[in-house]
Amino acid sequence: MPDSLPRLLRSDALDNRDRLLDAARGLFAEQGLGVPMREVARRAGVGPATLYRRFPTKQDLVGAAFDDELRECRAVVETGASDRDAWRGFRSVIVGISELNARNHAFVEAFTSDFPDAVDFAAHRAELLRLLAGLAKRAQDAGGLRSDFVLDDLVLVLLAGRGVSQAPVATRLAAARRFAALAIDGLRAAGQREPLPPRARLLAS
């Protein structure tokens, strides 16, 4: 019994942490980052003291909840930045992040605006923006990306795309891809239009 008790306590603590993160991800995805910490604890079925013991601040909880999304976002940007065809790589970033945004708009909310001092987000944001700046410059030099593009325009695209997460679940990814194609068409240098992907049916006919 003395040996098994610490293992049981550790297992219980890990279980609480997993429940808290699952609850936070669900609430953030549904309602955004304004969800009170006590609501996260309530959905996870634990007391507020347990929540604050595991995650002393909201920044800690947000960083942990979106750790997987941070890795996925980084992979999207690194893959695009490594493409020898810079314009193709740039387009893939727009599509990839738009799809990530559709699945969980709260991540983009955290990444672009809220909790700017959270260490994980600040470090990732700085590195990814560096990669994106280099990719955009190469895409402009190659004649694919419009010459007056600035990185703030990418933030505008991300912020505008957050509305896609309000679409019905069945059409959300299709809507994200359509939105990405429209955004890419607006960022394309003149004279290189391409057909849009199929319509995402969001309005009742």
The structural domains of the chain, with segments of one domain joined by +, span: 4-65, 67-187
67-187 placed in CATH 1.10.357.10: yes
Higher pLDDT, 99 or 165: 99
Q: What residues does 145 pair with on adjacent strands?
A: 188
Residue 8 has pLDDT above 50, yes or no: no
What's 1's DSSP letter? -
The answer to which of 23-32, 99-108, 118-127, 165-174 has the lowest mean pLDDT is 118-127
Nearest 5 degrees, angle CA 117-CA 13-CA 9?
A: 150
Q: 145 by DSSP, 3-state: which?
A: strand
Q: pLDDT digits over 56-86, tens only?
A: 988 889 888 888 788 888 999 999 999 999 9
Equal CATH topology for 4-65 and 67-187: yes
Residue among 90, 92, 96, 109 at smallest CA distance from 166 = 109
What's the CA gap between 13 and 195, in Å, rounded? Answer: 52
State phi, psi for 188 to the nearest 5 degrees.
Answer: -70, 140
State phi, psi for 118 to the nearest 5 degrees.
Answer: -65, 125
Residue among 163, 158, 196 at smallest CA distance from 177 = 196
Under 8 Å between Cβ of 104 and 165: yes
Q: pLDDT digits over 176-193, tens only?
A: 999 999 999 999 998 766
Under 8 Å between Cβ of 82 and 25: no
Residue 99 has pLDDT above 60, yes or no: yes
Average pLDDT, whole number, for the chain?
83
Q: What is the pTM of this model?
A: 0.75
Percent of the chain with pLDDT over 90: 42
Residue 132 has pLDDT above 90, yes or no: yes
What's the CA gap between 173 and 179, in Å, rounded? Answer: 10
Mean of pLDDT values over 23-46: 89
Rank 102-106, 111-115, 151-155 by mean pLDDT and report only the highest: 151-155
Q: 121 by DSSP, 3-state: which?
A: helix
CATH code assigned to 4-65: 1.10.357.10
Residue 49 has pLDDT above 70, yes or no: yes
What's the CA gap between 22 and 90, in Å, rounded? Answer: 32
What's the CA gap between 66 and 24, in Å, rounded? Answer: 9
